[in-house]
Amino acid sequence: MHAFGRSRPHPGFTLIELLVVIAILAILISLLVPGLSAARRRTRQTVCQTRLRELSTGWHIYADDNDEMCVPGRMANLGGGTGNSQNWYDIGSGLKYRPRWVATMGKYVGTPALSMPRTDYDRQDYDYNVYACTENSAWIDERNYAFGYNHQFLGNSRRTNGQFHNFPVNRSHISSFGSTVLAADCMGTAAGVAESARLPYQNDGTAFEAVGNHGWTLDPPRLIPNGDIGTGDAGSPRTAVDPRHIGKANVVYADGHGETLTPGQLGYEIGPDGAYLETGPDARNYLWSGSSRDEDAPEKP
């Protein structure tokens, strides 16, 4: 027979016990969040690497379609500016005024880089995610771009004294595809100034100090006094890789494989103030020359 009486009170948390639980949860979260953040950055790094590899596929198809000629960093200026139709090139979605390397070969990637290319202007933003870096997704101005091309060795159509600096370059002249950098994460001309002097990204800007400025060009580690540097304008700092992915830069090689390496592993030398040196004693061009040899960058004519 059930006995009636006072029921026992259910035990509850004391204030001290509750504070202990909260403290434990806070510690667990502090331990987990950095790991989750690092995992997300590694995922972004992998996606970015995949996008660079897709660009390398377009690079090869372009050469297949153009008698083995490597895509130039930018189509040559044939005079007359935007009014000269000889400066207009088909990029798969229409004609574009002097497209840079990504837009030129975009039709071979599967998605043209620009949905509505223009012949009267040369500062458009790329339209699709495949052309964006996952770590700096706003760097999509075709001039101030996230991915730089090894144009000095693979195709530099700038001219001095009426002669191309290094164009055209035949793909068959590359003797070591697996050790020739095709493109990589690029900091632009901000790489050549002290770290403390660098400015935020400017989509339509031209400040040498702004990160990403003229990032479509990627200078090799060791430059020469009579060589091309940065934008090619007087006083331009050099460009260099950007270790934006957990202290390293994504790189794709001419054979299509990718790596994620530090600037030092790629041959660059950085000074005490954070600026990339132009002629540092330890700078090497082994991974840039196309021959696996430490060759000088091409001289200007």
Is a pLDDT exceeding 80 seen at residue 29? no
Contact between 45 and 133 under an 8 Å Cβ cutoff? The reply is: no
Please state whether the peptide bond connecting residue 168 to the residue before it is cis, i.e. omega within 30 degrees of 0. Answer: yes
Is a pLDDT exceeding 80 seen at residue 195? yes
pLDDT for res 89: 96
The amino acid at 275: A
Three-state helix/strand/coil letters over 225-262: CCECCCCCCCCCCCCCECCCECCEEEEEECCCCEEEEC
The amino acid at 214: H
Q: Average pLDDT over the chain, rounded to whole?
A: 91
pLDDT band for 4, please (50, 70, 90 cuts): very low
163 secondary structure, DSSP code: E
Taking every pair of Cα atoms in the chain, the longest distance, rounded to a whole number of angstroms, is 112
d(CA 219, CA 15) in angstroms, rounded, equals 63
Half-sphere exposure of 157 (CA within 13 A, CB side): 17
Is a pLDDT exceeding 60 seen at residue 35? no
Percent of the chain with pLDDT over 90: 81
pLDDT for res 208: 98
Q: Where are the domains of the chain?
A: 45-70+132-261
> Which two tokens mark 28?
């667990």
Q: What is the pTM of this model?
A: 0.87
pLDDT for res 197: 98
pLDDT for res 217: 98
Percent of the chain with pLDDT over 70: 89
pLDDT band for 16, please (50, 70, 90 cuts): low
Mean per-residue pLDDT, 191-209 = 97
d(CA 85, CA 155) in angstroms, rounded, equals 22
Is a pLDDT exceeding 90 seen at residue 39? no
Q: What DSSP line would sit under 95-127, residue for residue?
A: EEES-BHHHHTHHHHTS-S-SS--SS-S--B--
Is a pLDDT exceeding 80 seen at residue 28? no
Is a pLDDT exceeding 70 seen at residue 33? no
For residue range 99-139, list pLDDT tens digits in order: 999 999 988 988 999 999 999 999 999 999 889 999 999 99
CA dihedral 184, 206, 101, 56 (to 10 degrees): 20
pLDDT for res 6: 52
59 secondary structure, DSSP code: H
For residue range 43-70, list pLDDT tens digits in order: 888 899 999 999 999 999 999 999 999 9
The amino acid at 141: D
Contact between 284 and 148 under an 8 Å Cβ cutoff? The reply is: no
pLDDT for res 1: 44
Cβ neighbours of 163 (radius 10 Å): 11
